[in-house]
Structure 1
Amino acid sequence: MRLHLDARDREIFRIAVPAFAALVSEPLMLAADTAIVGHLGTTSLAGLAIASTVVQTLVGLCVFLAYGTTASVGRHIGAGDTRGAMLSGMSGVWLAIGIGAAAAVVAAAGASMIVGAFGPTDAVGSEAVSYLVWAAPGIPAMLVVLAATGVLRGMQDLRTPLVVVIAANVVNVALNLVLVYGAGLGIAGAAIGTTIAQLGAAAVLGGIVVRDARRQHAPVRPVRAGVVEAAHAGVALVVRTLTLRAALLIATVVATTLGPDALAAHQVAVTVVSVLVFALDAIAIAGQALTGRSLGAGDIAGTRAATRRMIGWGIASGLLACVGLLVLTPWLPGFFTPDPRVQSLLIGALVVIAVTQPVSGIVFVLDGVLIGAGDGTYLAWAGLVTLAVYAPLAWLVWWLDAGLAWLWIAYAGFMLARMVTLVLRERTDAWLVTGTAR
C-alpha cells in the first residue's frame, strides 16, 4: 500500500525529518555519557543520574530560547520582515549568553550543596559533584546552541543545525572514550568531553546567526530593548518548562529513596525517555515553525488544517515508538549496565514508558503548536495543573515504597493530564492570534 502525502504533509516533513535527526542527537549525547559511565560501575551511574538531572534542569528551563525564538522569527518571516526576524534572533542569542554564564557559576560554585539536596550516599555524591563541576562550563554553550537553533528553525533552515549537532555528537563520543578510559579521568572525563563538544557547536551555530544578521543589516551587538523583550516573552515558557522539570526532579528524589539500584535504573529510563521525547518532538518543531509563520501571515484556516494533520502524525509516531521500545526492552538494559539487579528494575519501567508513547505523541504536537502561536501563558497555567496532578501520585509511590515501575506509572498519569489540558485549548479559538506580535 502506498502512503499518500499531500502538500501540507510534505511541508511538515520537510521540517520534521531534519528536526528529528537533530533533536535525537542531543539526548544521544547524554545516552553516550550514560553508556560509557555505566560501565564504570553502579556508583558512577547513580552519580550521573543526579548530576545530569541538575544540568538538564538548568538547560531545560531555558528551552524557551529555542522555542520562543523559533515562533518569533517565524512570525516575522511570515509577515515579510526578515530584518526584524534576525533582530529577534540575535536578542535570543545574547540572552542565552547572559543566562548561561550565570547558570554555570551557580552550578560550579554550588555543586556540593546542590547534589547534597538529593540525599545520596557519600560515594554517589562524590561522583555527581565531579561531573557537575566539569559540565558547568558547557552550560552557556548549550544555551547558545538552543537560541541559534531556534533562529535557524524560524528561518526554515533545519539542515544546518542537523549537520552541526551530528558533528558535535561524534566529537563527544570520541572524547568521552579517550578521556574516561584512555586518560583514566572517570566520570569527570565524560563531562569534559561533552563540554568541549558543546562549545564547538555553539561557536559554529552562533557564528552562522551573526553572519545572517549582518546580511540583513540587523544589529549583532546586544540591543537592550530586544533582549528585554525576549526575556519577557520567555517568562511564561519558563514557568511551563519549570513544571516539567519539577516533575523530573520529584521523580529523581523518589528514585533516590528507593536505593542506588533503582536510582541507576531510573537514570537509564530517563535517558530512554529523553531520546523518545526529542524524537517525537520533531513534529512539534514543525508545529512551532509553521504555526508562527502562518499566523504571522494571518492564515488561520491554514493553521487549523496543519494542526489537524500534525496531530495525526503525532499519534502515528507515538505508536511506532511504542512498538519499537517494546521490541528492544529485553535487550536494552544490557547496553547500559551489566548489573542484573539494575536490568531487572529497568524492564518494568521501559514497558510503562512504551505504552505511554501514543499519548506523548499528541502532547508534544499540541505543545509545539501552542508555543508557535505564542500561547505561553496558557501553557504555564496548564503546567501548574498537571504538576498538581503528578506530585501526589509520586508521593504515593514513595509512601507505599511501591517501586520504580509504579513511579513511571505515575509519570503516565502526568502525560494524560497534559494531553487533556492541551486538547481542550486546541479546540478553542483563543490561541489563534495573527500578526508579528503575540
Structure 2
Amino acid sequence: MAATSPAPTRAAAALTLAPHRRVHHVHMPSGRPCPCRTSASPRRRTPRCRAKPTVKGVVDDDEDASRESDPERKEEEEAMTATGTLPGWLRLDTVGMDILSIAAPAVLALAADPIAALVDTAFVGHIGSTELAAVGVSISIFNLVSKLFNVPLLNVTTSFVAEQQAVDDSYRGTGENEFRRFPDNKLTEERKFLPAVTTSLALASGIGLMETVALIFGSGTLMDFIGIPVDSPVRIPAEQFLTFRAYGAPPIIVALAAQGAFRGLMDTKTPLYAIGVGNLVNAILDAIFVFPLGLGVRGAALATVTSEYVIACILLWKLNSKVVIFSGKIIGGGMIRYLKSGGLLIGRTIAVLLTMTLSTSLAAREGPVPMAGHQLCLQVWLTISLLNDALALAGQALLATEYTKRNYKQARMVLYRVLQIGGVTGTALAIILFFGFGSFSSLFTDDPAVLGIAKSGVWFVAISQPINAVAFVVDGLYYGVSDFAYAAYSMFFAGAISSAFLLVAAPEFGLGGVWAGLILFMSLRAVAGLWR
C-alpha cells in the first residue's frame, strides 16, 4: 500500500474529529468560515458543505509532543527555518555590535606587529643600507618558516576553544561538565578546563622549539635558497640577525596559541594590551641595544625577542586566570583533530604563499622601478587586509559559538551581518583609496617614476577591496564551523587557476597582468566561499 502523506492525514483528522482548542479554524477558499452545520456527533460525520475547505493552524497534540520529545527533529526544523530566514539590511543590532566589539580591538592588535617591524626598520636603517637589507632578508625567511605553522594553529585554536566554551556554557548549572577531567577544587565559575587550550599550547611549544632548531642550524642553507651568496656583504649580518631572532620562535607561537584561545573566548582586548606592552618594550630596548651598547643588528634582534617573551608571559598569566593551561591531561582525540585540521590549513597557507611569491617574482622581472611601484601597492593592499582579518576572526568566534550551541537562527544572523559589514567596509575602503591614494603615496617615496607606477596601480588596490573583504570574511566563517577541508581545497583550486593565469598574463601585459592575476585570485576565493 502506498504511504499516506502526513499533511492530508492531519487535514482529514481535523475535519472528522470534534473541535479541539488546538484546531483553530476551518476556512472556505474565500477566507470566510464555513456556514454549514455539523451533525450532533462530529467525531463520526464530516461537515455538510460542498465546497472544499482548507485547514489553517492545525496543530496535533501528539505531533507537538513528539516534536518536544525528539530534539533532533526540533533542531532540524529550526535549521530549516533559519535557512529560509533572511535578516534585514545592515543594522547595528546586538549581533552587529558583538562583531564590532570583537573586531575593533583585534584590528589594533593585528596592526601592532607591522608597527613594531617599522620601529626595528627605523633603527637598523640608521646603521647602514647593508644592515637594512640584511634585516629585510632575515625577516622574510623567519616569516616564511613561522607563518607556515603559526597561522594554522591560531585559526584552529580559535574555532576549537569557541566550540568547547559553548559546550561548557551549556553544561553550566546542570552539575555536569563535558570536559571536567580536572580536580573540581581548581575550577571555578571564572576558571574553566578546556582541553583545546592545553592541547594548543603543548603543540605550540613543540613547534616553536623545532622552528628554533631549524632556523639556527639551517640559516646558511636558507640564505643559499633565497639567493644570498657567501661572499655577499649582506650574508653575515643577515645570519646574525636570523640566529638571534630564532630564539623568539617559541614565544611567538605560544603567544599566538594564547591569542587564539582569547579569540575563542571572544576576548580581543587582552591580547591588544599585551601586544601594546611588548611593542613598547621593543622600542625602548632598540634605543638602548642598537646604538648605546653598539650591538647593531644583533641588538635589534635581541630587543624583538625580549619583547616577544614579555608578550607571551602576559598572555599566559591572564589566560591562566580564565582557564587551566597546565593540566597534564592532553586528550589524544583532540590532538589528532588538531593535527588533521592544522595539516589542512598548512596546505592552504602553502597555496597562498606560492601564489603571492609567484606574483612578486613576475613583478620583479619588469625591472627595479616597476617592482618598487608594485611593492608599494602591495604593502598598502596587505596592510588594509588587516581590517578584513579582524572581521573574519569576529565572525569565526561568534559563528563557532552559536553553531555549537545549535542556535541556527543566530548563527545565520552572524553570517549575514559579518558579510554585510565586510561588504560595506570594503566598499568604503575602495572609495577612500581611489580618491586618496595619490595623496599619501608620496609619504613612501619621492621618486616620480615609482610614484607614477604606484598611482597606476590604484585601480588594483581600490577595486579589489570589496572582493578582499568578502574573501577574508568567508574564510573566517568556514573556520567558524570547522570546515577546514573545504577552506583548504578551495584555496588549492583558486591558487592553481590564478598561478596559471599569472604565468600567461604577466609576460604579455606586465604589471597589469600581475594585478589582474591577484584580483582573479581573490575573486576565486570569494566565489568558492559563497558557492557553498
Local SS of the residue matching 1:195: helix
1:379 is aligned to 487
1:200 is aligned to 310
Counterpart Cα distance in 1 of 2:447 and 2:249: 31
1:71 pairs with one of 138, 159, 164: 159
The 5 Å alignment of 1:173-212 reads 173-180=283-290, 183=293, 185-212=295-322
2:195 pairs with one of 87, 104, 119: 87
8 Å contact kept, 2:167–2:178: no
Counterpart Cα distance in 2 of 1:388 and 1:343: 32
Q: CA deviation at 1:148?
A: 0.2
1:278 is aligned to 386
8 Å contact kept, 1:120–1:256: no
Distance 1:173 1:277, change over 3 A: farther
Local SS of the residue matching 1:5: coil
Distance 1:379 1:352, change over 3 A: same
Local SS of the residue matching 1:119: coil
2:518 is aligned to 411
1:133 aligns to 2:221 (yes or no) = no
Question: Which range is displaced more, 299-308 or 82-91?
Answer: 82-91
Query: Per-residue CA shift, 1:51-102, capped at 9, x if unaligned?
Result: 3333223232221222111111111122235874622112101111111111
1:28 is aligned to 115
Local SS of the residue matching 2:322: helix
2:95 is aligned to 8
For structure 2, the 5+ residue unaligned runs are 1-89, 170-176, 180-192
1:421 aligns to 2:509 (yes or no) = no
The 5 Å alignment of 1:325-344 reads 325-326=433-434, 329-330=437-438, 332-333=440-441, 335-336=443-444
Local SS of the residue matching 2:438: coil
1:239 aligns to 2:347 (yes or no) = yes
The 5 Å alignment of 1:357-372 reads 357-372=465-480
1:103 is aligned to 211
Query: As a proportion of its length, which structure holds more helix?
Result: 1
Q: TM-score, normalised on structure 2?
A: 0.70
Local SS of the residue matching 2:226: coil
Q: CA deviation at 1:349?
A: 4.6
Query: Per-residue CA shift, 1:154-174, capped at 9, x if unaligned?
Result: 112221111111222233334
Letter of the 1:58 counterpart: V
Q: CA deviation at 1:24?
A: 1.9
2:261 pairs with one of 151, 154, 162: 151
Letter of the 2:97 counterpart: R
Counterpart Cα distance in 1 of 2:310 and 2:433: 32
8 Å contact kept, 1:179–1:193: yes
1:431 is aligned to none
Local SS of the residue matching 1:330: helix
2:497 pairs with one of 385, 389, 403: 389
8 Å contact kept, 1:46–1:124: yes
Counterpart Cα distance in 1 of 2:109 and 2:339: 25
8 Å contact kept, 1:37–1:186: yes
Question: Which range is displaced more, 34-43 or 276-285?
Answer: 34-43
Letter of the 1:208 counterpart: K
Q: CA deviation at 1:199?
A: 1.7
1:51 aligns to 2:161 (yes or no) = no
8 Å contact kept, 1:67–1:371: yes
8 Å contact kept, 2:248–2:308: yes
Counterpart Cα distance in 1 of 2:452 and 2:236: 26
Counterpart Cα distance in 2 of 1:15 and 1:160: 11
Distance 1:325 1:189, change over 3 A: farther
Counterpart Cα distance in 1 of 2:296 and 2:373: 20
Query: Per-residue CA shift, 1:268-303, capped at 9, x if unaligned?
Result: 555433422222211111111111101110122221
- Residue identity (%): 28
1:290 pairs with one of 398, 413, 422: 398
Local SS of the residue matching 2:323: helix
Letter of the 2:162 counterpart: G
Local SS of the residue matching 1:79: helix
1:435 is aligned to none
Distance 1:320 1:142, change over 3 A: farther
8 Å contact kept, 1:149–1:205: yes
Distance 1:116 1:196, change over 3 A: same
Letter of the 1:66 counterpart: L
2:335 pairs with one of 227, 251, 276: 227
Question: Which range is displaced more, 151-160 or 112-121?
Answer: 112-121
Question: Which range is displaced more, 91-100 or 80-89?
Answer: 80-89
8 Å contact kept, 1:118–1:253: no
Distance 1:113 1:231, change over 3 A: same
Query: Per-residue CA shift, 1:178-221, capped at 9, x if unaligned?
Result: 4445555555444333222212111111233334333xxx7533
Distance 1:59 1:83, change over 3 A: farther
Counterpart Cα distance in 2 of 1:151 and 1:54: 27
Local SS of the residue matching 1:213: coil
Distance 1:120 1:389, change over 3 A: farther
Distance 1:6 1:224, change over 3 A: closer
8 Å contact kept, 1:77–1:296: no
1:172 is aligned to 282
